Structure 1
Amino acid sequence: MSAPTVEAAIHELMDLAWNLVFDLLEERGLLRDGLFVERYTEIHSWVEGLIRYSVVHSCDVAVLFVDTRPVDAIVFRHDILGADDPKTFFTVPG
């Protein structure tokens, strides 16, 4: 993906679900002062069967989306990026 495409994908996911992302970050104790969508600069997305998984992350936090719904957030770890199955770092509902 080119940089504008990556940026557009991140903003689409984060903007559509910002209230849910905000609540998720707050629940996990990951909400920091000055947290803005612009701080999220990378996305890793893949499809398994009929489900799209996306991990959107900043330098500090990673958020897992199932299709377009944020389902978990964790402290960002660099080993997520090279993992065979990045969703194993998260708690994925049912």
Structure 2
Amino acid sequence: MTAPTVDAAIHELMDLVWNVVYDLLEERDLLGDGFFVEEYTGIHSWLDGSVRYTVVHSRTLAVLFVDTRPVDAIVFHHELLGADDPASYFTLPR
């Protein structure tokens, strides 16, 4: 179980744009049996200059947000959380 503040941050971010995240997962063929926000229990966030990057992940999927906009989704890799540049695992829009 995660801390209530972590749960709140994840749910706030995911709930704001759930339809965009859903479409992104579907587009990447990662939707599986559906989209359940409660399965996303991990969050990792950092600043690069004035841009905030946030990875919200479940046990199987990770979604990258730039500021509050979801930009990519991938199969979750544990090593991305300890990476020097976690965003490098994702495809960033130009």
Instruction: Check whether TM > 0.5.
Output: yes
Post-superposition shift, 1:34? 4.1
Return structure 1 stretches of 4+ with deviation > 4 angstroms.
none
Equivalent pairs counted in the alignment come to 93
Specify the code of the residue in structure 1 equivalent to 2:74.
Answer: I
| TM-score when normalising by structure 1 | 0.95
- Residues 1:54 and 2:57 aligned together: no
- What is the root-mean-square deviation of aligned Cα atoms in Å? 1.1
Specify the code of the residue in structure 1 equivalent to 2:53.
Answer: Y
Summarize deviations over 1:20-73 as a string: whole Å, max 9, x none: 000000000000114300000000000111110000000110000000000000
User: Share of identical aligned residues, percent?
Assistant: 72
| TM-score when normalising by structure 2 | 0.95
**CA distance 1:10–1:74, shift in 2 (3 Å):** same
Q: Corresponding residue for 1:84?
A: 84
Gaps of 5+ in 1: none
Gaps of 5+ in 2: none
